[in-house]
Amino acid sequence: MACISSNAAITTGMGLIATNTYDVIVAGGVEFMSDVPIRHSRKMRGLMLKANKAKTLGQRLALLSTFRPGFLAPELPAVAEFSSGETMGHSADRLASAFNVSRAEQDEYALRSHTLAKQAQEKGYFTDLVPFKVQGIDQVVDKDNGIRVSTPESLAKLKPAFVKPYGTVTAANASFLTDGASACLIMTEEKAKQLGLKPKAFLRDFLYVSQDPVDQLLLGPAYGIPKLLKKAGVTLKDIDSWEIHEAFAGQIVANLKALDSDWFCKTYLGLSEKVGSPDLTKWNNWGGSLSIGHPFAATGVRLCMHTANRLVREDGKLGVVAACAAGGQGVAMLIERYPGATAD
C-alpha cells in the first residue's frame, strides 16, 4: 500500500492477535529507493510474453521480425499513481492550486519541517534509530542525513520540479526518496506483562479511507481524521500530538485548509460544519517526511513511534497519525500513551 504499508502491517497484526492467531508480532517495512526495479518498455514486455507462448520456430521468427530497437528503451522509474499513471508531483501541484496554496506557504512549511527535525536530532530525541553499516563503506549510518535547514531566499530560487514553468512544487518542498526500514513489536498488554516488557503506547483505534485517486489522491488525512475522531468520540482539542505524513508541503497545507473549510467538510465529508484547524504547536514537532525522508514502506511505523515518543516527552495522552497513499487511500490512527512509558 505504498506510503501506508507499515500502517497496514500494524493493523493486520492487531487483527491476527485479536483472533488469537498469534501472540507477538513484528510489523514494519523496508524500502530500497536507491535500487528500484527498472522495467522494459511496454512494447518489449509484450513481445517477450508473446515469445514465451510461441511454440514453433516460424512463430518465433515472425515475432522477431516485429522487433524494433526502440523496444529496448527502459521505463525510467517515477513516483507515479498506478491507477492514473500521473506523477504524484503533478497531483500535488494540482491540489495546491485547487486550495490556493502559494509557493511561499509551501516553502515556509518545508523550512519548518527541516528546522524542527534538526532541533529534535540535536536534542537526542530520535532514540529509536539503529545504526547501520553499509558493506564496503567505512562510515556508519547513525542518523538521518537529509535534514538541511536552508533560508527562505534559497528555497525561493528553486525552479518547479514537475509542472514547468508555473508549478509550485520543488525539490525542497517535496519529500525526498531514501532507503530506510522500520519495525515495531506489537502484542496485548497482558502478553507484554508476561514477557516483562514495558509498552510505549496503545493503538486505540484506526480506519482506512479512499477517495478519487486523480483529483483527491493526497487528501487521505482530511478524509480520515474527522472519521477517526468521530469514531473514537474525541475532538481536535483532545489530541496532544499530530504526526501527519508530509508527502509534499503543498499536500499538508491543502489538507489543513480542507479541514478548516466549511465548503469542503459539508460537500465531501457530509458534515454540518468544518472540522477546524489542529493546533500547529502540536503538529509534526520533530519534522516529518519532508526533512527526514520517505522510504515508502517504513514511514508508517516511523510516524507511530514518533507519536509514542513525543507523547512521553511532551507529557501528552492522545496522538493522531494520518497519511495519504497510492490509489487515493489513506489511514488515520489514534495512539494513547502507556502509563509510565519512557522515550528511551
- Residues with catalytic roles: 3, 324
- Taking the chain, what is the end-to-end CA distance rounded to the nearest angstrom? 30
- Can you say how many angstroms the Cα of residue 47 is from the centroid of all Cα atoms in its chain? 36
Residue 87 is given by DSSP the state: B
Could you count the other beta carbons within 10 Å of the beta carbon of residue 23?
A: 13
Measured at the CA of 299, the angle between CA 296 and CA 303, to 5 degrees, comes to 160
Partners of residue 206 on adjacent β-strands: 333
Residues 308/258, Cβ–Cβ less than 8 Å? no
Longest dimension (CA), the chain: 75
Residues 327/82, Cβ–Cβ less than 8 Å? yes
* Residues 6 or more apart whose Cβ sits within 8 Å of residue 139: none
Residues 98/257, Cβ–Cβ less than 8 Å? no
For strand 318-325 and strand 329-337, is the pairing parallel, antiparallel, or unpaired? antiparallel
Residues 127/343, Cβ–Cβ less than 8 Å? yes
Q: Distance between CA atoms of 252 and 245, rounded to whole angstroms?
A: 8
Partners of residue 335 on adjacent β-strands: 203, 319
Residues 307/201, Cβ–Cβ less than 8 Å? yes
The owner of cell 525510467 is 76
Q: Distance between CA atoms of 82 and 210, rounded to whole angstroms?
A: 15
- Can you say how many angstroms the Cα of residue 266 is from the centroid of all Cα atoms in its chain? 26
* Residues 6 or more apart whose Cβ sits within 8 Å of residue 322: 220, 221, 224, 225, 228, 242, 243, 244, 245, 330, 331, 332, 333
